[in-house]
């Protein structure tokens, strides 16, 4: 598993990356939301640990864009914003879990294990790349939310 950590505090990012490595995962870090979006668009990651208060594009917007793209990447929000309203908003925007700072590394690892277990049972007949979505059971293909009518040969390719 490969985890992307988008966190602007280098000390926290290193702690999170170390916790992910302790679980046997690879961990990549970046400090800006806009950089994180570029990385998510160009590299494959299996999970995301996301701070909300980031320079450039904030974590709220990273989460909005990620979910708008159709990606089902597991997301753990890790932030100092601990008000109930913030937690509700983060979960409603599509976060899989929300952990306020300060946090215990053991809890972070346990929450990530939980998220990854839940996502491991998701269907494997749905695929998405950028704005292209494909369902191999219904044979439906969509690009930018417009249905594409493909021949059998085109679909097979």
Pair 24, 92 in one domain: yes
Q: How confident is the model at residue 55 (pLDDT cuts 50, 70, 90)?
A: very high
Pair 135, 89 in one domain: no
* CATH value at residue 41: 3.40.50.2300
Pair 68, 140 in one domain: no
Pair 81, 99 in one domain: yes
How much is the average pLDDT of 34-45?
A: 94
Considering its fold, how many domains does the chain have in total? 2
Work out the number of other CB atoms within 10 angstroms of the CB of residue 135. 14
Q: Give exposure, 49-81, as e/b (b: 16+ Cβ within 10 Å).
A: bbbbebeebbbbbbbebbeebbbebbbbbbbeb
What end-to-end distance do the CA atoms of the chain give, in Å? Answer: 28
Pair 47, 93 in one domain: yes
Pair 77, 29 in one domain: yes
Pair 73, 147 in one domain: no
Q: Are 17 and 78 in contact (CB under 8 A)?
A: no
Enumerate residues 6+ apart whose C-beta is below 8 A from 68: none
CB pairs under 8 A, 24+ apart, for 98-107? 101/12, 103/78, 105/15, 105/18, 105/19, 105/22
Enumerate residues 6+ apart whose C-beta is below 8 A from 129: none
Q: Does the pLDDT at position 18 exceed 80?
A: yes
Pair 116, 132 in one domain: no
Q: How confident is the model at residue 48 (pLDDT cuts 50, 70, 90)?
A: very high
State whether the Cα torsion 33-35-36-42 is positive or negative: positive
Predicted pLDDT of residue 92: 93
Question: DSSP 3-state assignment of 90?
Answer: helix
Pair 77, 143 in one domain: no
| Residue-averaged pLDDT of the chain | 90
- Tens of pLDDT, residue by residue over 79-125, are 999 999 999 999 999 999 999 999 999 999 999 999 998 887 655 66
What proportion of the chain, given as a percentage, has pLDDT over 70? 96
Q: Does the pLDDT at position 20 exceed 80?
A: yes
- Backbone phi and psi for residue 55, each to the nearest 5 degrees, phi listed first: -70, 155
The reported pTM is 0.76
Phi-psi region of 85 (alpha: psi -120 to 50; beta: other; left: phi over 0): alpha
How much is the average pLDDT of 56-85?
A: 93
Tokens of 2: 């490969």
Expressed as residue numbers, the domain containing 32 is 2-120
Pair 44, 98 in one domain: yes
Pair 101, 77 in one domain: yes
Pair 106, 143 in one domain: no
């Amino acid at each position: 598993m490969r985890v992307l950590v988008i966190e602007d505090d280098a000390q926290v990012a290193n702690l999170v990356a170390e916790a992910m490595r302790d679980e046997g995962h690879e961990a990549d870090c970046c400090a800006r939301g806009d950089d994180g979006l570029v990385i998510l668009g160009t590299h494959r990651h299996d999970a995301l640990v996301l701070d909300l208060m980031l320079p450039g594009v904030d974590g709220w917007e990273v989460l909005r864009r990620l979910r708008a793209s159709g990606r089902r990447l597991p997301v753990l929000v890790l932030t100092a914003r601990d008000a109930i309203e913030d937690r509700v908003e983060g979960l409603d925007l599509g976060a899989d879990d929300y952990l306020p700072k300060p946090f215990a590394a053991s809890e972070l690892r346990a929450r990530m294990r939980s998220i990854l277990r839940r996502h491991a049972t998701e269907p494997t007949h749905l695929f998405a790349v950028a704005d292209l979505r494909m369902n191999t059971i219904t044979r439906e293909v969509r690009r930018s939310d417009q249905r594409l009518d493909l021949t059998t040969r085109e679909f097979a390719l």
